[in-house]
Structure 1
Amino acid sequence: MRILFVNWATVPVFAYGGTERVIWDLALELKKRGHEIAFLTPPGSTCDFGEVLAFDTEQDLLPQIPSGYDITHFQFQPKFDLDRAFGRPYLMTEHGNYNKNPTRPLNCNFVSADHAQRHRSEVYVPNGLNWDAYGPVNLSAPRENFHFLGKAEWRAKNVKGAIQVAKKAGVDIDILGGDRFNFRRGFRITLTRRAHFFGMVGGAQKLSALNASRGLIFPMRWHEPFGLAVIESLYFGCPVFSTPYGALPELVGREFGFLSDSCGELARAVRDLRFDRKKLHDYARETYSSQKMAQGYLRLYEKILSGRTLHEKPPIWPKLSKKLLPWKA
């Protein structure tokens, strides 16, 4: 099968870039299974296992999409109508929450059961990662601090709440994805010595930090479509202390962490840390792998190539409020 991935950002990714990391690992796994891979992105992408094509972001995208592929896999909803104007087999993955188009295309999938349900759909493929790229995990080494992982400048990620939990629990927290001084969304300075800031980390620095962490404190205040930070942390044997929003209840059962919208309850759970790190690691590796993700996408590709659509009616945008979800500090 010849598969064309279309994305608005370049690949590969070296720091945050959750969506790009997922599609890169999906493409690599499909290549291992004998499929031909190509990427169509803005200029700047490179790939040693597939073809790389570039489109001009200042021009209409539709005439720039080459033919000759069995299926075209969009990682965003283009401005043109995929069901009326494209005329070729396609799949579109919705990765986020705030796509303002009133409906989604008929061949659209989502990244968790909750994400799909909020769009009145049952079609989803959970994200997965190529764990072989993450290096060795040391589950027996002593660990000192907890961590937060994500773009701390996004208020919905609630780094302030993560620091509150750490302070109340009497533990230190490493902020992977933020700075002590933040000028981007209004001036913010964090004075507590319990919080240690490392900026936007990636590569070996990020993996080393996760290998040394006792757990993820991640009290987000929005409906997380999936949660790559969660499965990355679980892979390194880190239990997850988060809020019960979006896909988190799907990812984090009682054996793998604790969910609450209360700072006090999360702090008590952090203090009472009793989890089997190997069980956490095995769960992430077996459940959220790029291999399982590829199997899910191949099933969708085959259904589409047989002439069927994934939905009888277009999935509907849920019109989520951008107000922060409840957090009891």
Structure 2
Amino acid sequence: MKIVFFHNGILPVMGYGGIERILFWHMVELARLKHHIVLIGHADSKVQKFGIELIPIIGNGEKWESQIPQDADIIHLSFNYIVPGKIPTIVTVHGNGKIGEVFDFNSVFVSKKHAEIHGSTQYIHNAIDLSEYPYEPKKLRGWNHFLFLAKASWRVKNLKDAVTVARNTHKHLHVAGGRWWGLSRYVHNHGIVGGEEKMSIIRSCDFMVFPVRWHEPFGIAVIEAMSQGLPVIGSPYGSLPELITKDVGFIAKDTSELEILVKDNHAEKFNPQVIRKYVEDNFSISQHALKYLELYKDVINGKKLNSQKPTYQLPNRAEDLLDF
């Protein structure tokens, strides 16, 4: 199968970049499965050694569609757009839509809840390349150091409540993905991190909190933390009830419950090996690619993945803070 992708940034991405990394891993896995993968992308991308054909973008990329090989079987995009012409297109929707936004019939969302709030039932969970997340469990398990792994400046990610809980419980909060602009001996800022530095911070912690105040489409940080055996405490929104089962963490309905869960020692409740296995069984890039290949076949054969065009269903903006 000849599958065309478009991305105007450099791949593989260096450092932070959730969607970009998933896109790259997906292409690499498809190439490994002997499909002909074409990236219309940044000239400095280093993808050829992974078996991916690179077509450098001409100019600023405004007319990238003219560079699509006409013998392609399908085009796979990571943004809401359908390429004019006869080549079938499939779109992965990674973010939440805007009020009134309409998506194409062949749109795929990244969690069940994400699909639901866009009027769809079509989703494939995001995944990671486990070879980039070698399992190195902590020798001593505790419940004193917890992780916040998200864009700290984005209000919906709710660093504010994570800091409040750390100060009230006297547990140590490690912020990766920005910083908290305050002073507390219980809050440790690590800034924007990626690669081995990020992995080292994850491994140094006992558990992660993910107290988002919006309908999280997926939350790649959740499975990144779980890949190292960390249980996760999340809010009840978006994908989190799908991802966080009783064997791998807790769902906290509000800040008070989050504080109780952080304060009480739950280290013996969770088995890090079980958490790692949960990620291996459910969120590997190899499974992700196989699921997409089935959808590619359906779209190439003329099937519409959604019976109606998905639309954003909620009355308020996705970024409007939910109660917690």
The two structures have a TM-score, normalised by structure 1, of 0.90
Cα distance in 1 between the residues matched to 2:5 and 2:115: 21
Q: Which residue number in structure 2 is paired with residue 224 of structure 1?
A: 216
Distance change in 2, residues 1:19/1:100 (3 Å): farther
8 Å contact 1:164–1:263 — kept in the other structure?
Answer: no
Q: Which residue number in structure 2 is paired with residue 192 of structure 1?
A: 184
Q: Which residue number in structure 2 is paired with residue 51 of structure 1?
A: 53
8 Å contact 1:93–1:109 — kept in the other structure?
Answer: yes
Residue 264 (structure 1) shift: 2.1
- Match status 1:323 vs 2:315: no
Q: Which residue number in structure 2 is paired with residue 275 of structure 1?
A: 270
Q: Secondary structure at the match of 2:260?
A: helix
Q: Which residue number in structure 1 is paired with residue 161 of structure 2?
A: 161
Residue 16 (structure 1) shift: 2.1
Residue 8 (structure 1) shift: 4.5
- Match status 1:108 vs 2:107: yes
Q: Deviations for 1:226-258, whole angstroms, at most 9, x for unmatched residues?
A: 010001111111111111100000000122111
Residue 292 (structure 1) shift: 1.1
Residue 14 (structure 1) shift: 2.3
- Match status 1:244 vs 2:260: no
Structure 2: stretches of 5+ with no match in the other structure = none
Residue 65 (structure 1) shift: 3.2
Q: Secondary structure at the match of 1:216?
A: strand
Give aligned-pair identity as a percent.
33
Q: Which residue number in structure 1 is paired with residue 117 of structure 2?
A: 118
User: Letter of the aligned partner of 1:126 in structure 2?
Assistant: H
The residue correspondences of 1:11-26 to structure 2 (distance < 5 A) are 11-26=11-26
Q: Secondary structure at the match of 1:37?
A: strand
- Match status 1:214 vs 2:213: no
Structure 1: stretches of 5+ with no match in the other structure = 181-188
Bigger mean CA deviation after superposition, 305-314 or 224-233:
305-314
Q: Which residue number in structure 2 is paired with residue 186 of structure 1?
A: none
Cα distance in 2 between the residues matched to 1:66 and 1:190: 53
8 Å contact 2:231–2:249 — kept in the other structure?
Answer: yes
Bigger mean CA deviation after superposition, 17-26 or 165-174:
165-174
Q: Which residue number in structure 2 is paired with residue 183 of structure 1?
A: none
The residue correspondences of 1:1-150 to structure 2 (distance < 5 A) are 1-47=1-47, 48-49=49-50, 50-55=52-57, 56-57=59-60, 59-78=62-81, 81-82=82-83, 85-99=84-98, 102-142=101-141, 145-150=145-150
Cα distance in 2 between the residues matched to 1:227 and 1:64: 33
User: Letter of the aligned partner of 1:205 in structure 2?
Assistant: E
Q: How many residues align?
A: 315
User: Letter of the aligned partner of 1:326 in structure 2?
Assistant: D
8 Å contact 1:39–1:51 — kept in the other structure?
Answer: yes
Residue 175 (structure 1) shift: 0.4
Q: Deviations for 1:180-235, whole angstroms, at most 9, x for unmatched residues?
A: 4xxxxxxxx21111110011111111111111210001211111000100011111
User: Letter of the aligned partner of 1:266 in structure 2?
Assistant: L
Which structure 1 residue ranges, 4+ long, deviate > 6 Å from structure 2? none
Residue 29 (structure 1) shift: 1.2
Of 249, 252, 256, 1:260 maps to: 252
8 Å contact 1:3–1:35 — kept in the other structure?
Answer: yes
Bigger mean CA deviation after superposition, 268-277 or 196-205:
268-277
User: Letter of the aligned partner of 1:325 in structure 2?
Assistant: L
8 Å contact 2:133–2:227 — kept in the other structure?
Answer: no
Distance change in 2, residues 1:190/1:98 (3 Å): farther
User: Letter of the aligned partner of 1:40 in structure 2?
Assistant: I
User: Letter of the aligned partner of 1:66 in structure 2?
Assistant: P
8 Å contact 1:224–1:248 — kept in the other structure?
Answer: yes
Q: Deviations for 1:12-43, whole angstroms, at most 9, x for unmatched residues?
A: 12222111111111111111111121212344
Distance change in 2, residues 1:281/1:309 (3 Å): same
Cα distance in 1 between the residues matched to 2:95 and 2:198: 24
8 Å contact 1:76–1:93 — kept in the other structure?
Answer: yes
Distance change in 2, residues 1:128/1:268 (3 Å): same
Q: Secondary structure at the match of 1:198?
A: strand
Cα distance in 2 between the residues matched to 1:94 and 1:209: 30
Residue 282 (structure 1) shift: 0.8
8 Å contact 2:111–2:218 — kept in the other structure?
Answer: yes
User: Letter of the aligned partner of 1:215 in structure 2?
Assistant: F
8 Å contact 1:4–1:71 — kept in the other structure?
Answer: yes
Q: Which residue number in structure 1 is paired with residue 226 of structure 2?
A: 234
Q: Secondary structure at the match of 2:188?
A: strand
